[in-house]
Structure 1
Amino acid sequence: MAASTLPSTKSGLYADPRPDWLALREEDVLDPARRIVDPHHHLWDRGGQRYLIEDITSDLASGHNVIATVYVEARSMYRAKGPEAFRPVGEVEFANGAAAMSASGGYGPAAVCAGIVGHANLLLGDEVRPVLEAEISAGQGRFRGIRHSSAWDADPNVAHMYATRPKGLLLDSTFRNGFAHLAPLGLSYDAWLFHPQIGELTDLARAFPETRLVLDHCGGPAGTGQYANRREEIFATWKASIREIAECPNVVVKLGGLAMCLLGYDFHERAMPPSSEQLAAAWRPYIETCIEAFGVERAMFESNFPPDKGQCSYQVIFNAFKRIAASLSEAEKNALFSGTATRAYGLKLD
């Protein structure tokens, strides 16, 4: 099978998956009995790209022992009608529908969308509460929190689709008025940002110590645009920010998102997909820094599929994670691959 042409990068942040290219790399699954809770994936049908329950379950069937997943907002299936503020409730309904399909047993053994992270516009301030309550109802016991992405950068070659988002969102007083409604409702907040913004999230975490914050994708270390060809310098800056935010006990971190184009690696442009050894070598400094800072009880491996599928398959990405964690104890591995995710999202698993 010949490699296909170079991938589309319509979002600018990640490459579109190419099944024919990914199929060029097949590996034996490492530690196949290891229980995995994947705490971060999306489902969507947009822009010519489909990734729905049959696609995620096909990836889960690649040989790793994935027992459950958490759906994270992706602006999917918003309601077409009704008040603008309530349209994101449609995404929770959609994800819960996928969870119900999974619970039928017809899509494999994993509990897909066992937890759901939706979106609510926190810039509504106090008016966000009825939206959150509607999402809790729509989730039928699976709704766990929201993500209101704050990713922003002055360089459009970094920010891409986030270039028009507001700068300093996490510091905005109206946003924080909305944010204040999460903890009383038992909800968490997933944070998607770029590494120069980690300090803003640290400030937010200190201001709301009772709210659980989840730092997505290792804190978004950037290696494109103005950050290109500055890897050592940027790594040092990112590392200092990671150590500082890890001092906040209400923050946990997701280990992944590193197969997006944002990090600056060109794996998606090569003739062969990368091996798990290659990925482990590239990602180890970032992941080990996060584990050292947060500890295994506040860190969890994530697939971030399908965005990360632009550079590697599900089989290979979790092999890479297992290589990075190989020297750890059984208890530490259990925390990173399933325990932390189960606790952080309050999953009720058999």
Structure 2
Amino acid sequence: MKNFIQKLPKAELHLHIEGSFEPELMFALAQRNKIEIPYKSIEEVKEAYKFSCLQDFLNIYYAGASVLINEQDFYELTMAYFTHCHEENIVHTEIMFDPQTHTERGIAFETVINGIQRARNEAHEKWNISSLLIMSYLRHLSEEAAFETLKQSLPYKHLIKAVGLDSSENGNPPSKFYNVFEASAKEGYVLLAHAGEEGPAEYVWEAIDGLKIVRIDHGNNCLTDDKLVAEIIKRDMALTVCPLSNLELKVVTDLKQHPLKTMLNKGIKATVNSDDPAYFGGYLNQNFIAIQEALNLSKEDLVVLAKNSFQYSLLDENSKTELMNLVDEYALKN
């Protein structure tokens, strides 16, 4: 099964580039940029990567991001992630980035996106990995701040496919951002949002009806509402599920209790993703391996998950068909 997963062609649809920040690179950039971080060694950084909830994780996530200063830093961070993609047979990825995490501390939007874009171009040339960018608004900040980010993004609109909504979910419902999502749609951005990770099913309703998103990031708590499940299936919306993230942030206490198989059995189009792999103990293949073992998923289940990752990507229909055929060919031979 591990070998089958390793070589299975797949896409990743839920990945925060700042969450792929390995301790070694964080430490190196802190020294290069002469930024003080509260850790004396790489081991201390790794020790800090243990959390009891989403907020614990976000605290260190934002502290870590503070060492990203120059275009080269964002390039190196993104290129390190693409190297994992190449090793894990991820042929398409949709990368989320948080401009506000950087612009709030005086880093220019241009610096962030140019560094990421350089890596995207290189990964495509070197390994033929396709990628799209998702600009996430931080939900713990105001809608006014999100509007400012939308404005800053407009000169780079050709590089950004979609907008998303992330950060602390509880107490920050999707309804807080209805206006900026409407404005983002007018600019041509596809709409996505995190909903139902820690927040209730009501937040998922708000995201699909109020924000008018086309794909749900996480969505675990939709299972508490049968009407919502039926609606998600009716609208043919996918969930970007992140097993190791759910385990590390105590959304589930044991992967054997993870709802992924239940979702598939109910007819929900789920996908497997790594979320913030440097912090949660594994990149995409590790998520696949862990959830396969925990839920005893069959090869057929894995093929469904891989095909879902392409079908519910933001690629054009021809590319989706081509990539799903790639999965079928692989499954036939293996």
TM bucket normalised to smaller:
0.5 to 0.7
> Structure 1: 5+ residue runs without aligned partners?
1-26, 153-166, 222-237, 267-278
Q: Deviations over 1:25-50 (max 9, x none)?
A: xx842244422111122233565658
Partner of 2:289: 319
List aligned pairs for 1:11-90, cutoff 5 A.
Answer: 28-44=2-18, 52-62=77-87, 64-74=88-98, 77-78=102-103, 80-81=105-106
Alignment of 1:210-221 (within 5 A): 211-219=212-220
8 Å CA contact retained: 2:103, 2:109 = yes
Question: What count of residue pairs does the alignment treat as equivalent?
Answer: 260
* Structure-1 residue corresponding to 2:150: 132
Q: Deviations over 1:113-170 (max 9, x none)?
A: x111113468446x96674354253253343223244512xxxxxxxxxxxxxx2532
Taking a change above 3 Å as real, the CA distance of residues 189 and 134 of structure 1, as seen in their structure-2 partners, is same
Shift of 1:92: 3.8
User: What is the one-letter code of the residue matched to 1:171?
Assistant: S
Query: Which structure has the highest helix share of the two?
Result: 2
Paired residue for 1:116, among 123, 133, 136?
133
Question: Which residue is 2:280 aligned to?
Answer: 310
Are residues 1:99 and 2:87 paired?
A: no
| Structure 1 residue aligned with 2:174 | 170
Distance in 2, matches of 1:310 and 1:250, equals: 29
Aligned to 1:16: none
* Distance in 2 separating the partners of 1:77 and 1:192: 23
Q: Does 1:247 align with 2:231?
A: yes
| Structure 2 SS opposite 1:303 | coil
Query: Distance in 1 between the 2:302 and 2:125 partners?
Result: 35
Amino acid at match of 2:206: D
State how far apart, in whole Å, the 2-side matches of 1:193 and 1:94 are: 32
Task: Give the TM-score of the pair, scaled to structure 2.
Answer: 0.61
Match of 1:179 in 2: 181
Instruction: For residue 205 of structure 1, report the CA deviation from its aligned partner.
Output: 2.0
Identity %: 10
Q: 1:262 aligns with which of 239, 250, 253?
A: 250
Alpha-carbon contact 1:41-1:304 (below 8 Å) kept:
yes
Partner residue, 2:194: 191
Q: Specify whether residues 149 and 313 from structure 1 end up closer, same or farther in structure 2 by C-alpha distance, changes over 3 A only.
A: closer
CA separation in 1, counterparts of 2:302 and 2:11?
Answer: 18
Partners of 1:289 and 1:146 in 2: CA distance? 26
Residues in 1 aligned to 2:185 and 2:283: alpha-carbon distance in whole angstroms: 36
Structure 2 residue corresponding to 1:147, chosen from 146, 165, 173: 165
Deviations 1:321-348 (CA, angstroms, capped at 9, x unpaired): 5563534495x34432322224599989
1:89 & 1:212 partners in 2: Cα distance?
A: 26
Query: TM-score by structure 1 length?
Result: 0.59
SS at match of 1:151: coil
Match for residue 208 of structure 2 among 191, 205, 210: 205
Distance in structure 2 (CA, Å) of the matches to 1:169 and 1:202: 10
- Contact 2:272–2:284 (8 Å) recurs in 1: no
The letter of the residue matching 2:90 is V
CA separation of 1:76 and 1:104: change in aligned 2, threshold 3 A:
farther
Q: Give structure 2 stretches of 5+ with no counterpart.
A: 27-36, 38-44, 46-63, 66-75, 324-334
